[in-house]
Amino acid sequence: MNRLFTRHKNLWCSKNFLISVATSFLFLAASVLLNHFTSIYATGMASNAVNDILLSNLPVFNVDFIVNEGIILFVSFVVFMLFLDPKKIPFTLKSIAIFYITRSLFVTMTHLGPFPERSYLDPTDLLYSLNFGGDYFFSGHTGLPFLIALIFWQNKQIRWASIGASIFFGVSVILGHLHYSIDVFSAFFITYGIFHIAQKLFASDFALFHGEEN
């Protein structure tokens, strides 16, 4: 506990660290807001549903609890990991922001309609108010945990837990017919590219993440 307190004290007393954290929170907030409005746009522009090799041949399962409460639990897990090691905050949050900005751009390009049979989603849930069902490509439920796995790759426990969560959520949104197959499978490749872009854009934060700077 004393080591954790000292770790926080040393970092939060640094002006550069405070600026970096504040910037990362603002960047993340802006990206989430952008994702929200592009979701509204894509839902309003949605056309017809298309056939899908998996969705057309699988029954619908109710995955409401998984895609809502499940992802909230995962985000809580990430927040706890950042609390334990605050120097990882700037790079992690900025990488997530790049993730959401990239996804927002992709969402505006193609406007597929929802699959005719899909899992029920509780309209009172927080995530329902942020995403309106027309933002398909690519799957955030699949990509975000995979991004965390890439960011924390050197920590085997977090890496494999995040990869497992990514696969679990990916399977869930397919079984719930909430995403097309291409949304899920492409998420891994796009997220890999996003991670490497973040490394280049935020090199100093990435160095701090690995303890290479004071």
- Cα distance between residue 15 and residue 20, in whole Å: 9
Instruction: Supply the pLDDT for residue 116.
Output: 86
Instruction: Supply the pLDDT for residue 9.
Output: 80
- Cα distance between residue 61 and residue 172, in whole Å: 8
Give the residue from 33, 142, 150, 162 showing the smallest Cα distance to 92: 150
Instruction: Supply the pLDDT for residue 115.
Output: 87
Instruction: Supply the pLDDT for residue 213.
Output: 45
DSSP state of 70: I
| Residues of the chain falling short of pLDDT 50 | 213-214
Q: Where are the domains of the chain?
A: 2-209
Full-model pTM: 0.92
Other C-beta atoms closer than 10 Å to the C-beta of 40 total 14
